[in-house]
């Protein structure tokens, strides 16, 4: 006769003990997973909080404050927050010599020009390529009508097949030159600029690997890349995880990038050290240069006045850097002059300098806007920086656009 054995109490205890252990282990795993997700969410929130800061600053810059452009207030605050225990004269600061780019090419295998939109990266690169000489061309899918007028351009407009073909041509030429070097053949220097790399990398499947080879290998083949970027690291070009590629570049930083980098160098040293005092003096020098301030690796640089320079013409001599300043520089110096603090007005409609303008300075806002536009500045820049315009950003911009339509 079939029958079933009823488990004993000990068996039941072991069973329930096993179930309890499984439940505890599962609960611990769940808690750990939950903690991980919470941490990921918190990190995401932190990143999200940082991303819109530029947009917030953009909006704040456009708000009137008693007729004073926010850009002027920001420059004054920035100058006040720089802690310089002891000042050093400009003559003691070592400035970068741009002629080194041409005379010592082995020291500068590749160059990257970093700056926000509108800071003048393209015009500077055009002047730099004129200074470098040699064979030149540009790879870019889009550009302004006034950009790269004296260069052979590949990939414009939005011709990504041509971008890919030219990159592969450079890659093949690089390998061919190495083979010819074994036969004792000397080659001329090639300098090519690559602009709008994000678009190229997004639309050309082979761009990333080809560019990586060019960055690493092209030095001895006398092929130099000049990359224009809006960010510090190589992730800007879609080369995540390749931070060592930054060592292949000499970095030209403009504007806020130059200021932040100089502050980082200064903060590496003790406040009572000579290095801290030196970089404090460099920081003051950069602030005095305004939006055109520039650092090349660890050295400050004085960018020449390029407002009247034309691509293809004789490059501005490096020795003439301290010569006359352009219309844009005059506008900038007006904004930075401590003697031109704006008085409050009942109508909140801009400001006029308290002191008479110096010789050569600009007094007519309409002429100032025209000169600044001819010098390559944007309508937005003029609306925020030209003295005499309405303090409200949008009113100033509308006024400028009305003038432009009238001129046409």
Higher pLDDT, 397 or 181: 181
What mean pLDDT do residues 358-368 have?
61
Q: What is the pLDDT of residue 10?
A: 79
Q: Is 90 exposed, middle or buried (0-12, 13-18, 19+ CB in 10 A)?
A: middle
The fraction of the chain above a pLDDT of 70, given in percent, is: 72
CA 362 from chain centre, in angstroms, equals 29
Q: How far is the C-alpha of 125 from the C-alpha of 117, rounded, in Å?
A: 14
Beta carbons of 75 and 69 less than 8 angstroms apart: no
Beta carbons of 156 and 140 less than 8 angstroms apart: yes
Element (H, E) at 113: strand 110-114
- Partners of residue 110 on adjacent β-strands: 249
308-359, pLDDT tens digit by residue?
Answer: 887 765 444 443 333 333 444 455 555 544 334 444 333 333 333 333 344 4
Q: How far apart are the first and last CA of the chain?
A: 110
Higher pLDDT, 296 or 134: 296
Q: How far is the C-alpha of 72 from the C-alpha of 81, rounded, in Å?
A: 14
Q: pLDDT tier at 120 (50, 70, 90 boundaries)?
A: confident
| List of domains in the chain | 55-79+324-407 (no CATH), 85-316 (3.40.50.300)
Q: How far is the C-alpha of 228 from the C-alpha of 233, rounded, in Å?
A: 12
Q: Taking the CB of residue 138, how many other CB atoms lie within 10 A of it?
A: 25
Rg (CA), the chain: 29
Q: What is the largest CA-CA distance in the chain?
A: 122
The conformation of residue 91, written as its DSSP 8-state character, comes to G
Q: What is the pLDDT of residue 71?
A: 54
What is the residue-wise DSSP string for 32-64?
HHHHHHHHHHHHHHHHHHHTTHHHHHHHHHTS-
What mean pLDDT do residues 28-32 have?
90
pLDDT surpasses 50 at 282: yes
Phi, psi (degrees; rounded to nearest 5) at 366: -65, -40
Q: Taking the CB of residue 192, how many other CB atoms lie within 10 A of it?
A: 24
What tokens appear for 10 in the block? 């000990």
What tokens appear for 108 in the block? 């500068």
CA 18 from chain centre, in angstroms, equals 61
Beta carbons of 147 and 310 less than 8 angstroms apart: no
144-176, pLDDT tens digit by residue?
Answer: 888 898 889 999 999 999 999 999 999 999 999
Q: pLDDT tier at 81 (50, 70, 90 boundaries)?
A: very low
Beta carbons of 401 and 78 less than 8 angstroms apart: no
Closest CA to 129 of 406, 332, 3, 316: 316
CA distances from 315 to 107, 265, 271, 284, 309 (A): 21, 32, 41, 28, 8
Beta carbons of 382 and 327 less than 8 angstroms apart: no
Helices and strands: H and E segment counts in the chain: 14, 8
pLDDT surpasses 60 at 143: yes
Q: How far is the C-alpha of 140 from the C-alpha of 146, rounded, in Å?
A: 14
H-assigned helices in 269-315: 274-289
Closest CA to 255 of 298, 297, 286, 299: 286
Q: pLDDT tier at 49 (50, 70, 90 boundaries)?
A: low
pLDDT surpasses 70 at 234: yes
What mean pLDDT do residues 111-117 have?
91
- Partners of residue 68 on adjacent β-strands: 65
Half-sphere CA count of 293, side-chain side, radius 13 A: 22
- Partners of residue 223 on adjacent β-strands: 190
Closest CA to 163 of 178, 133, 143: 143
The CA angle 194-196-201, to the nearest 5 degrees, is 90
Whole-model pTM: value is: 0.58
- Average pLDDT taken over every residue of the chain: 76
Query: 3-23 burial by CB neighbour count: b if 16+ within 10 A, else e?
Result: eeeeeeeeeeeeeeeeeeeee
């Amino acid at each position: 006769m079939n029958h079933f054995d009823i488990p004993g109490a000990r068996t039941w205890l072991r069973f329930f003990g096993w179930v309890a252990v499984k439940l505890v282990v599962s609960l611990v795993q769940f808690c750990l997973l939950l903690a991980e997700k919470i941490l990921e969410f918190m990190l995401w929130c932190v990143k999200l909080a940082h991303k819109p800061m530029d947009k917030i600053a953009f909006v704040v810059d456009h708000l009137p404050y008693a007729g004073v452009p926010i850009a002027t207030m920001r420059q004054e605050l920035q100058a006040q927050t720089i802690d310089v225990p002891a000042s050093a004269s400009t003559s003691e600061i070592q400035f970068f010599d741009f002629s080194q780019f041409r005379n010592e090419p082995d020291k500068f295998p590749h160059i990257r020009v970093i700056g926000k939109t509108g800071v003048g990266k393209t015009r500077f690169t055009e002047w730099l390529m004129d200074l470098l000489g040699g064979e030149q061309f540009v790879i870019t899918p889009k550009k302004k009508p006034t950009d790269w007028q004296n260069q052979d351009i590949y990939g414009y407009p939005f011709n990504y097949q041509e971008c890919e073909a030219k990159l592969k041509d450079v890659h093949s030429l690089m390998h061919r030159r190495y083979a010819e070097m074994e036969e004792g053949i000397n080659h001329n220097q090639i300098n090519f600029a690559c602009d709008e790399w994000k678009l190229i990398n997004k639309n050309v499947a082979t761009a990333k690997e080809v560019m990586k080879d060019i960055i690493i290998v092209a030095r001895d083949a006398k092929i130099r890349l000049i990359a224009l970027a809006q960010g510090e690291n190589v992730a800007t070009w879609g080369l995540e995880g390749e931070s060592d590629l930054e060592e292949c570049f000499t970095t030209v930083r403009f504007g806020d990038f130059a200021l932040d980098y100089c502050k980082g160098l200064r903060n590496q040293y003790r406040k009572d050290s000579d290095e801290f005092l030196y970089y404090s003096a460099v920081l003051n020098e950069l602030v005095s240069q305004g939006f055109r301030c520039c650092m090349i690796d660890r050295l400050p640089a004085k960018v020449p006045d390029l407002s009247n320079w034309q691509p293809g013409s004789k490059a501005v001599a490096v020795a003439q850097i301290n010569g006359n300043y352009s219309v844009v520089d005059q506008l900038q110096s007006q904004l930075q002059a401590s003697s031109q603090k704006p008085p409050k007005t009942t109508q909140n409609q801009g400001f006029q300098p308290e002191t008479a303008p110096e010789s050569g300075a600009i007094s007519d806002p309409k002429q100032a806007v025209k000169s600044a536009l001819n010098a390559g500045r944007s309508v937005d820049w003029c609306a925020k920086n030209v003295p005499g315009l309405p303090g409200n950003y949008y009113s100033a911009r509308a006024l400028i656009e009305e003038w432009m339509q009238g001129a046409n």
